[in-house]
Amino acid sequence: MTMETPSQHQDVIFGIRPAIEAFEAGKQVDKLLILSTSGSTLTGELLRLAKQNAVPVQKVPMEKLNRITRKNHQGVIAFISPITYGSLEQLIPTLYEEGRSPFILVLDRVTDVRNFGALARTAEAAGVDAILIPSRGSVSVSGDAVKTSAGALHRIPVCREDNLKIALEFLKMSGLKIAAISEKSTETLWQANLKGPIALILGSEEDGISPEYLKKADVHLSIPMIGKVASLNVSVAAGIALYEVVRQRE
């Protein structure tokens, strides 16, 4: 995952104690940058809190921290998320209790902020109940992502899980069909039954869906490609797949 600098729409906290206090105050930390040579007791406590809250940590050299700020950062910079992350384990039972059929969008290694914002906007419009992302190797839900989503990220839950494999197993145990959207599949979207509780997985444009997650999928589906272009932009592919679910549900 590429390291991002704070945007004008994102809060940033500098220093070890302020970062610890942010966790203790219940703030949603998007990611944490820590000096690679840091090894104090306070740093250990900060790392414990980050792991407990499934917050990705990047250990970086002093030069990178100094490029972000000239303030006294004490080897720690915490990026605060503009959204509150949802809990997948609480969301799914609630949807069933409300008599709804869960509709989840899972994104594996999608790192482009603009793509993510566009994905969130389309997902919200299609009635998706939540977006599921891994805590590592994924896009940062920054203020820029919220802006690109036209505010959709304030209206659709984003669940960030430390272990996406376990999260997918939870979805399967909860009765959701896991459908992987991949150009390598011989079965198309139009041939599949997508009417019940479902989670669609899409991967990065560079590497697609991770093999370990492909194994968890109940079906592998492709979007028919008539022209000579080999693949679609991930946000476009997601839009097509999401609205096929909408069409079948209608």
Q: Residue 54's pLDDT is what?
A: 84
The per-residue pLDDT for 241 is 97
Residue 5 falls inside a structural domain: no
Instruction: Identify whether residues 124 and 228 lie together within a single domain.
Output: yes
Do 110 and 217 belong to one domain? yes
Q: Retrieve residue 105's tokens.
A: 């969008």
- Cα–Cα distance between 3 and 15 in angstroms, integer? 18
Structural domain includes residue 225: yes
Domains held by the chain: number: 2
The answer for 208, left when phi > 0, alpha when psi is -120 to 50, beta otherwise, is left
CB contact at 8 A, 122 and 236? no
One domain for residues 64 and 131:
no
CATH number at residue 218: 3.40.1280.10
- Token pair of 95, please? 């949807």
10: its two tokens: 């994102």
Question: Could you tell me if 123 and 229 lie in one domain?
Answer: yes
Answer whether 1's CB lies under 8 Å from 36's CB: no
Residue 50, in any domain of the structure:
yes
* 60 and 117 part of one domain: no
Which among 80, 102, 132 is the end of a domain?
Answer: 80
Q: What angle do CA 71, 68, 27 make, to 5 degrees?
A: 80
Q: What is the CATH number of the domain that holds 42?
A: 3.30.1330.30
Confidence at residue 77, expressed as pLDDT on a 0 to 100 scale: 93
Task: Copy the structure tokens of residue 184.
Answer: 């390598």
Same domain, 36 and 145: no
In a domain, 24, yes or no: yes
pLDDT per residue as tens, the chain (250 positions): 444 555 544 588 999 999 999 999 988 898 899 998 877 888 899 999 998 888 889 899 999 999 988 788 889 999 998 888 999 999 999 999 999 999 999 999 999 999 999 999 999 999 999 999 998 888 878 888 889 999 999 999 999 998 999 999 999 999 999 999 988 788 999 999 999 999 999 998 788 899 999 999 999 999 998 888 878 899 999 999 999 999 999 8
Same domain, 125 and 237: yes
Domain end: 44, 64, 80, which one? 80
On whether residue 68 sits in a domain, the answer given is yes
Q: Do 20 and 123 belong together in one domain?
A: no
Considering the domain architecture, whether residues 22 and 38 belong to the same structural domain is answered as: yes
Distance of CA 234 to the CA centre of its chain: 14
Structure confidence at residue 5 (pLDDT): 56
Instruction: Tell whether 4 is covered by a domain.
Output: no
Same domain for 96 and 60, yes or no, is no
Q: What are phi and psi of 240, to 5 degrees?
A: -65, -45
Eight-state DSSP code of residue 204: B
Whether 2 is covered by a domain: the verdict is: no
Let me know whether 127 and 241 are in one domain: yes
Structural domain that includes position 24: 11-80
Q: Is residue 32 part of a domain?
A: yes
Residues 121 and 172 in one domain: yes
- Which of 80, 110, 141 finishes a domain? 80
